[in-house]
């Protein structure tokens, strides 16, 4: 038995409607096919249009590899939406080209001598390289939440103590959902630990509501899928059971507090061969 598609049934129902208003107690003797009724038929039989907004134009391409001691690099190419998120994209392009200049941030008070020593070393190293641009080359992939998000771009070494970019709340007309597979976003605002990071998305995640979409993965979705399978440390959730949107700044200065290693890869993965070009 064949089944009539519901749009066709809906059209048939419309054609049976009277062309004149109904009055209580009055039943039309027959349905009349009018010109307005016939005009509805072609559009309703066509496939329904997509509700997705148009993807913004890609203005720049950022390409980088991610490698571990036991694996060769896998590569991603990100298309940046410079026309709808200009300030955020400008900061990411500076980081990708190694030209991001920022002040050094003092080390916070630490509870152990070891952490305090590491904090002082990070600040001293930052001060010694004050005139040198920070960049993603040599930064790390620091968190993988399987089927949800991958956070890359945690600067380290002499750039560890740099003031982070304050990504504004922009890109409202992007038309790409923040949790769409392959969307690339940054955390709104700045400070708190890993504000340099960019997040290629692998699926929905509640914390992404605090992010701004600045582009999407144009090449390397297979690489993204491979990174999604990398082994990570078991998370230790806060009192409310929530995942931190980003670790506190103290995590960057050698702290071993709860949350600093949530979903951290078991091996160190670093960014290499970072490049930028106009689309």
pLDDT in tens, 166-175: 888 887 656 6
Q: How confident is the model at residue 258 (pLDDT cuts 50, 70, 90)?
A: low
Q: Tell me: the pLDDT tens digits for 30-69?
A: 333 333 332 322 222 222 222 244 688 999 999 999 999 9
Could you tell me if 200 and 74 are in contact, meaning their C-beta atoms sit under 8 angstroms apart?
A: no
Q: How far is CA 202 from CA 73, 177, 191, in A?
A: 19, 12, 25
Whether residue 252 has pLDDT greater than 80? no
- pTM of whole model > 0.85? no
Q: Where are the domains of the chain?
A: 6-45, 60-278
The SS3 assignment for 219 reads: strand
Percent helix / strand / coil, the chain, rounded to 5: 25, 25, 50
Q: Tell me: the pLDDT tens digits for 143-161?
A: 898 998 899 988 876 777 7
Q: How confident is the model at residue 22 (pLDDT cuts 50, 70, 90)?
A: very low
pLDDT of residue 154: 83
Q: How confident is the model at residue 190 (pLDDT cuts 50, 70, 90)?
A: low
Rounded to whole angstroms, the Cα distance separating 232 from 32 reads: 67
pLDDT of residue 17: 45
Rounded to whole angstroms, the Cα distance separating 221 from 201 reads: 10
- In the numeric block, which tokens belong to residue 253? 């200065």
- Who contacts 15 (Cβ-Cβ below 8 Å, separation ≥6)? 31, 33, 37, 41
- Look up the CATH number of domain 60-278: 2.40.100.10
Average of per-residue pLDDT across 207-226: 90
pLDDT of residue 114: 76
What sign has the CA pseudo-torsion 91, 92, 97, 98? positive
Could you tell me if 88 and 100 are in contact, meaning their C-beta atoms sit under 8 angstroms apart?
A: no
pLDDT of residue 27: 39
Q: How confident is the model at residue 116 (pLDDT cuts 50, 70, 90)?
A: confident
Rounded to whole angstroms, the Cα distance separating 45 from 59 reads: 38
User: Which of the residue ranges 101-105, 116-120, 249-253 would you say has the lowest mean pLDDT?
Assistant: 249-253
- Give, as one character, the DSSP assignment of residue 157: G
- Maximum Cα interatomic distance, the chain, rounded to a whole number of Å: 93
Rounded to whole angstroms, the Cα distance separating 86 from 198 reads: 15
Average of per-residue pLDDT across 105-110: 72
């Amino acid at each position: 038995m064949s089944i009539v598609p519901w749009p066709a049934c809906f059209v048939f129902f419309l054609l049976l409607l009277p062309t004149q208003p109904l009055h209580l107690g009055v039943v039309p003797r027959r349905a009349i096919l009018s010109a307005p009724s016939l005009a509805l038929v072609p559009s309703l039989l066509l496939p329904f249009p997509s509700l997705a907004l148009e993807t913004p134009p890609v203005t720049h391409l950022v390409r980088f590899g991610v490698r571990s001691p036991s694996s060769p690099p896998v590569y991603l190419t990100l298309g940046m939406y410079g026309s709808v998120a200009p300030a955020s994209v400008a900061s990411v392009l500076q980081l990708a080209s190694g030209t991001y200049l920022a002040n050094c941030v003092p080390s916070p008070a630490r509870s152990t001598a070891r952490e305090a020593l590491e904090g002082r070393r990070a600040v001293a190293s930052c001060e010694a390289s004050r005139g040198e641009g920070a960049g993603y080359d040599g930064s790390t992939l620091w968190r993988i939440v399987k089927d949800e998000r991958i956070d890359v771009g945690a600067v380290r070494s002499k750039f560890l103590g740099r003031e982070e970019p304050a990504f504004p709340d922009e890109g409202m007309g992007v038309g790409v959902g923040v949790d769409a597979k392959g969307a690339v976003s940054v955390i709104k605002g700045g400070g708190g630990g890993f504000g340099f990071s960019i997040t290629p998305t692998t699926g929905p995640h509640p914390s992404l509501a605090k992010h701004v979409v600045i582009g999407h993965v144009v090449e390397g979705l297979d690489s993204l899928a491979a990174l999604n399978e990398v082994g990570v440390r078991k998370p230790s959730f806060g009192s409310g059971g929530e995942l931190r949107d980003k670790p506190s700044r103290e995590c960057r200065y050698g702290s071993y507090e709860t949350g600093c290693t949530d979903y951290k890869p078991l091996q160190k993965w670093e960014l290499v061969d970072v490049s930028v070009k106009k689309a």
